[in-house]
Structure 1
Amino acid sequence: MHRKFKILAVAPYESLKEVLLQTAKEYPQLDVTVEVGPIYEGLKKLQKYDLSQFDAVLSRGGTKMEIEKHTTLPVFKIPISYFDLLNIIKLVEHYQGKIAILTYENIANAARVLCDLLHFPYNIFIINEWHNAKEKVLQLKEQGYTLIIGDAVSVIQAERLGLQSILLTSSAASVREAYEHILNVCSYVEPFRTDTSLFHQYCRSQQETIFYFDRRGKLLYGEDSPGEQALQSFCAHQIPALEKEQQLITQKQWQGTLLEIQGNRFLVRQVPYYFFSIKRMSPLVPGKQGTPYLSLFEPSAPHTLLQGLPNILQLLSPGSWKRTLQLVSSGFNCCLIGEAGTDSDSLVHALYEKSSHAEAPLYCINPLLLKEADMRRLCTDSHSPLFLPHASLYFRNLAQLDDGRFQYLLDELSIAAYESTAKLYFSFEGSEKQESLESRCQQLQERFQLHTVLLPTLRNKGDQILNYALLYIQSHNHMKDTHIVGMEPEAITLLCQYDWPQNLKQLQRVLQKAVLSTDAPWITARTIRLALQEEQRSALQFPRSQLDLDQPLHQIIQQVVGKVLQEENNNQTKAARRLGISRTTLWRLMKGK
């Protein structure tokens, strides 16, 4: 019996991993391992492995081109078929804006053939090397293009420059073609297997950060991301000490975590090399364990599906998004004000991810559970996240605090700000008390270096609604390997003419119901109509006016918990995640304890 061929596949995007693994089940002759990461990130994933244990590498686009420079193994490509191209080209047929297809020459030629046959007026541009993708995308932006269709590298650069983008994905049929090619080649070429590298075995087996230097202090192995460069520098400065001791162990506080760093000096053919392993010890805990008002922030929307989709500022006010990014990057704190459903949570998360503080945690403050004693502890305790290096704090929906507690928090936070280096985010979403809201924003503005953003709404934004819907459908196709190619004209009209009282969150709910209930290539008008009718019925059942803010705080909390549980179909896990608390705390609040 012939042995299985071992294949290491590096997918430039997440959903391709599932397609690779599922399709591999049809090929018992192959043993497929899959990692995910575009270009250099994919190369770093590949470097975790002892490649002598594999027969071939499989990848796509610019990731494949970069991997070929760093391995002697045969590197096979995952193609993009005419069918894959046709799905994308048909999907954007009704897109309102200027479209460019930007990809490598072989894919560009196939796209050109399809566009000529089907009379699609799309402009097609070629990337000769993935390094020039940034320059190409910048040129297209200057020429007025608003949507880039292309490989992972084109999409990454488009997102960095604030353009909307759609990734060209490979279907299961394309993966089968690649596997057939690998089988044909590997059946005739049996690779020479070298001795196993002890160093790479160790790296695979350890849940640690590893650095390996030569005698001149040059990094030979390890993560080369900006977040790790300071640790690299620290280890490199320990090399002179290793010349004397041959081994050292030290501890270092790093971004809210205690690190244990072990260094060793080894001789290989009388040449010294320096090896460092870094273990992350128990993190520094802000305040006492189980603090109910404080949690590590996670966006309320499913990150896997909505990843890469524009937030409400990117969609409706790109100029405001760019200015907000610039100001937050230059040191400003940020306050977001918007109607219900404008999703300030996701916008804060997007700003945080692009900030200089993104390596440290983002802490979310739940105002419903914040008492005066908690405020004092948060603003004075030396273990508070306010005083951790590079931390970020998000005070979510402060409109829910009564005037007295809001003023107390403002005073305490103002004093703490003299010593704190944390980035601060505030949000007021869905508040009906405009006068009180304006007063609170003004007070924040006076106390902190603050940039205030008024979030736009979806009302009368037909073109942007359609563009978002198309991008959402493509994201679903991308993540779930579905093949929805568009919507009926009447379905488009229904979406674009709806008032969207709950804005982006409501649009996401409607689109989610539509794609999940569609098993045909097109989303019908009936599907959209039913989803909108369900939204209207839900609004009638749970009007915002039901929340009585004049009642005692513990009753308001119980009412809010009850409404969230109803909206999450009594799923306590989802309700707790949405409120930013544990299930135990949720149960206690439900019982009024």
Structure 2
Amino acid sequence: MNKINLWFITPYQAIVPLIEEIKKEHAQFRVTIKVGNLENGVVFAREAEKKGADMIISRGGTATLIREAVNVPVIDVHISGYDLLRSITLAEHSSYKKALVGYSNITIGASSIIDLLDIEMDVFTIGHANEVKQLLGQLKNDGYTRILGDVVTVAAAKEFALDGLLIQSGRESILEAFEEAEHTFNSQFESQKLIHVMRDLLTQRDQDVVIVKQGGQILFEHWAKFQKRPISDHDLFSIIGQTIQEHRSLSRIMLNNKETLKVDTYLNTQFEEKVVTVFIQSFPSTSAESMNIQFEQVKYPPALVAKSSTMLHLNETIQHPSFAHKAIVLTGASGTGKKLIARYIHSYHQKSGWFMKIDHQHLLDNFSKGFPDNVSTVFVQINQELHPSHLSVLNDILHMAKTQSTQVIISTESQNIRIPDDEEWKKAYRLTIPTLKERVDDIHNLSVHFLAEFHQSLGTQPVKIHDNAIRALLKMDWPANVRDLKVYMRRLALSEKGYVIDTNTLAKNPFYPTETKGSIPTSIDKKETLKDIEKKIIEQVLKEEEFNQTKTAKRLGINRATLWRKLKE
């Protein structure tokens, strides 16, 4: 059987000979000894993790920091009653005025020993390491000259020219730590084997990957083709945050030092704290405009609310097997949900590859020779009248898509927009997405759906819409589309502090349609406060960025935490 790879990271040098002696009695361990206190100890711990350590032993505050920094089991060398007794006895025979300084886990036991043995020594308890220096300054002024404590306390005592005496760990404590390490390893043996296999697999396959916990702790990273992490911390944690917020795997094109990167995330929710794996690879495109490309894995069909006859008919149509392969042209006003329909088609027909969203200009710039591997659906947004030269390229794209088993779905707001005059495009399915006025029967279910969504994503209070509020919504002369209803429901959910949205909530928050894309509202009601105007602008930008909070915050020039706070106000 292979030996257990054990790293002993001690905060002080004097313990090393004792470790060297004890490790001879434990042939099952391959022991590496490093001396490093607090942050220096963490540096060694990260090295240990990279070199495949099975267990780490450390002590006190250093063990606590290491446990937070690495994903390797950490055994803490406890300070036993024997350790305290030895150290107190050593300090007892001094005629100096003495004090023991430490955390409660030390001082409680120390006080008992000092009282039982009637030793002249005062005990002071601290709650945090940053309290040590202030306390030692006071003790010096009070005439204390000898201080008994841990590594941090003794180091601080030297700065005050005090006689510091370290509470050291004895043979019993070291033996106990070795035995606990062996017991812990044996109980986790199968898990440890799997960890080693996965680490070796990721390393040997030259996979550029970083695995991060929801709280920001990096569990594992390996860079094969890059000398170091190829994206900034801001970009890394931004896409991790979006992955967790949207609860799905994502793919993005990012730029770093003029290099275009494809960044894929995978979300694991099996643990209490979510874990995101980020794979990074160089992307063949060098265009800065590639930032406008979005990739995502659509594993489950998005919620398609369909109670009205128009939506029931649309739903029945797109579920037909023929819709899995042919080109599709979706027409509808801004905010009717064309992208949602495209994602629904992709997922309903069980496409295993990526769903790629891009506007037609960037598609032509970046993929004139074909699409990236494993793209099942290309969703092309056409936001303006096509230039004649674009028509032929769209033609080529459709033919390329057929050869690569990729489906092309075009989205446009204009019924009269020109598309290529080609036989393949003539065979394309054409669907018109109804406006909210044409699907009034869906308003109730849409409102309930949005309320549940905001309760999950924003932590809003309301969980129900009163029947009188539903009746009021149905009577409204809706000049807008589904996206406007979603914006309005978010405003109602954020403003209502109770559990039910009723007509009083609606009266306090009258509906006003958001502006068309690219037009921040300029009309200001005389009764509106600065906060009201700010809320209008935030809602408009959120709508334009398809409720992506990361993009919205960036466009508004604020961080996501500030945006979150403003949404909750």
Under a length normalisation based on structure 2, what TM-score does the superposition of the two structures give? 0.41
Structure exhibiting the larger radius of gyration computed from Cα positions: 2
